[in-house]
Amino acid sequence: MTLKREKTQIVIQIIMTLFAVIIIYPMIMILLMSFKSDAEIVTSPLTIPSEFVFANYAEAWDSMNYLRVLGNSTFLTVCTVAIGTMIYSMAGYAVVRAKRGKIFFSCVFYMFLAGLVIPPQVTLVPLVVWLKALHLSNTFQGLIGVMIAGGTATGVFLIRNFISTIPQALEEAAVIDGCSPIGVFFRIIFPLLKPIVVTLVIMNSINVWNDFMHPLLLLQGAAARTVPLAVYFFKGEFTTQWNVLFAGLTLSIIPLLVVYFILQRHIMGGLMSGAVKS
Amino acid sequence: MERQISMNPKRDLRKRRLNFENFYAYLIMALPLLIVYLIFFFIPSISSFFISFTNYNGISLDFDMVGLKNYQTMLQDQVFRASFTNTFVFTIVVSLLQNLLSLLTALGLNARIRMRGAIRTMIFAPVLINAVVTAYIWTYIFDTNGLINTLLRAVGLGGLAQTWLGNPDYALGCVIVAHVWRFIGYSALIYLANLQSISSDVLEAAEIDGAVGWKRFRYVVFPLLAPATTINIITSIAGTFKVFDIIFAMTEGGPGNATETIATYIVRNMNENLYGYAAAISIALFFIILVINVFVYGFLKKRETQV
């Protein structure tokens, strides 16, 4: 019995290790290939490079306009996530705790939730027209608005559910001390929201940073490219030069992977609780 | 922000009229999101319905109402039909494959193995990679001189080598593999969390009753994984039915229309300035997603309570 168990244990160990290697291999593959010379990538693409060619990275860096692109993505993500988290929390608080006009606030809440079943494609055609009318087409302000609005359903839903678990006695005490509802929110509730805010920030950062469809259609012009967009147009230039292309891909995933390896517990935990709660 | 006037809050709450403390303060807090949501999501969604009844081309504002013509065109459009079928195939195969593989992964990670942390980190890493990068990595893997063909030639099966993404029979399968690679870690994590919440008492009791191995999994563990299954199936269906980015970056819907999905077809029509038609397809997508969600969610919830 124990011998059989040990055998199963070893088999599981081998299968899992192999599986992890297979999953991670494509990333190691692009890393190795990104250092190969133009000649070596044709003759022996999959071996460890005989010499490491850093020129691929220099070329990729320049033609992607790497720092600019990284700056654009960071700006977009930070603004969307910071403003978004703040206003999701405020709205989530309002829909749970409003004392009068409950019907009005629950209508607002269900309108926010409609975003769960409306696919983002539905808004695309009107957005192109609408942003033009508001003089927001091809601007970051417009895209930030679209991304915040797109995350509304999940954001408000998670916040609302979290706030309804907080006992009201806390707030009532503050009200007796002369605090207005807005004051109660900022002084008492918002600090308590930390766990769910961390989850939201992680989920939204990854979504916004990796989003491709919205920048592609709503943010035209080379100067405004985000990371996924830059990679997309980069492929067009280097279709046959896998080494330079892979240097570009590596550059584009490094920032997020570095953050992942540092904060992996929080990221896994955040994504998991986000999925479980919504 | 703080109100200076101190008043008796209890008496105040009893009043029936709408005053700052019980209505407007909350309205002010909901207002920023309400405005952003109306401008950038809700009004556009509603106007999509309107645009779907016009022949709007995205450029000039003198468009005509064409009634249901866009919807009639859609029913006869071979490409739309192909995109509809592809989207269904993509959704069903991805959901099944992703859930099966991630369930096995979670069971493996839950076993007493060494280097569990490292293995989990590796399997989860692709979740962070954006769809465009995923698409290009797998474009190389399936390329004529790419990883798969090189491996096939190395083991003497060079005859099987081909341009995988250029073959209409295989292209959709290739995109499915790439998509599943990216999301196995995510679903596995959710299964793993559920597995770890099953108490060892239940498992021991099952063992005493003679449920071991496959039996224990089938009749004890798997039913207890119903919550994770619900979450994973709902998220993978929701995520795949509107799939756009990985397909657009990997094949652009080609070869022919072999990998065209509803979402890529919407963007293709927008690029051809057929905005009215694109809007009509997006409305169709909305109703399909709505129906599927109601149906699948109802089924899975019922299954959860039966356990």
Q: Which of B1, B105, B190 sits opposite A186 (nearest CB)?
A: B1
pLDDT of residue B41: 94
Residue of A nearest to B187 (CA): A272
Residues of chain A with CATH 1.10.3720.10: 68-221
Q: Do B36 and A115 lie within an 8 Å CB cutoff?
A: no
Q: Do B125 and A252 lie within an 8 Å CB cutoff?
A: no
Measured distance CA(A76)–CA(B174) in Å, rounded: 32
Q: Do A272 and B193 lie within an 8 Å CB cutoff?
A: yes
Classify each residue of A119-129 as buried b or exposed e, where b means 16 or more C-beta atoms within 10 Å of its C-beta.
Answer: bbbbbbbbbbb
Residue of B nearest to A217 (CA): B267
Q: Does residue B206 have a pLDDT over 90?
A: no
The percent of residues in chain B predicted with pLDDT above 90, rounded, is 41
**How close, in Å, is residue B169 to chain A by CA atoms?**
23
Strand partners, B65: B54
Measured distance CA(A211)–CA(A226) in Å, rounded: 9
pLDDT of residue A228: 92
Q: Do A119 and B113 lie within an 8 Å CB cutoff?
A: no
Q: Which of A12, A119, A268 sits opposite B286 (nearest CB)?
A: A119
> In the predicted model, what is the mean pLDDT of residues A54-74?
90
> In the predicted model, what is the mean pLDDT of residues A150-162?
92
Q: Does residue B203 have a pLDDT over 50?
A: yes
Q: Which residues of A touch B286 (CB under 8 A)?
A: 117-119, 122
Confidence of residue B281 (pLDDT cuts 50, 70, 90): very high
For the stretch B11-48, pLDDT in tens is 555 555 677 778 888 999 999 999 999 999 999 999 99
For the stretch B113-171, pLDDT in tens is 888 889 999 999 999 899 999 999 999 999 888 888 888 888 888 778 888 888 888 99
Measured distance CA(B206)–CA(B221) in Å, rounded: 10
Calculate the alpha carbon distances from B124 to A19, B19, B162, B189, B233 in Å. Answer: 12, 51, 30, 8, 18
Q: Which residues of A touch B56 (CB under 8 A)?
A: 129
Dihedral angle, C-alpha B242, B244, B247, B250, nearest 10 °: -160
> In the predicted model, what is the mean pLDDT of residues B264-274?
91
Q: Which of B136, B267, B278 sits opposite A235 (nearest CB)?
A: B136
What DSSP string runs through B137-168? HHHHHTSTTSHHHHHHHHTT-GGG---GGG-T
**Percent of chain B as helix, strand, coil, to the nearest 5:** 75, 0, 25
**Percent of chain A as helix, strand, coil, to the nearest 5:** 80, 0, 20
Q: Do B283 and A21 lie within an 8 Å CB cutoff?
A: no
Cβ-contact A85, A148 below 8 angstroms: no
pLDDT of residue B2: 44
When the candidates are 3.40.190.150, 3.40.47.10, 3.20.19.10, 1.10.3720.10, the CATH number that belongs to A68-221 is: 1.10.3720.10
Confidence of residue B10 (pLDDT cuts 50, 70, 90): low
Structural domains of chain B in order of their starting residue, each with its CATH number: 9-51 (no CATH), 79-306 (1.10.3720.10)
Q: Do A126 and B113 lie within an 8 Å CB cutoff?
A: no
Q: Do B293 and A117 lie within an 8 Å CB cutoff?
A: yes
Q: Pick the range with the lowest mean pLDDT from A42-46, A119-123, A124-128, A176-180.
A: A42-46
What DSSP string runs through A96-110? HH-SS-HHHHHHHHH
Q: Does residue B215 have a pLDDT over 90?
A: no
Reported residue count of chain B is: 307
Q: Which residues of B touch A47 (CB under 8 A)?
A: none
Q: Do B114 and A13 lie within an 8 Å CB cutoff?
A: yes
Confidence of residue A263 (pLDDT cuts 50, 70, 90): confident
Q: Does residue B1 have a pLDDT over 50?
A: no
Over A214-233, what HEC string results?
HHHHHCCCHHHCCHHHHHHH
Mean residue pLDDT of chain B comes to: 86
Q: Which residues of A touch B247 (CB under 8 A)?
A: none
pLDDT of residue B16: 56
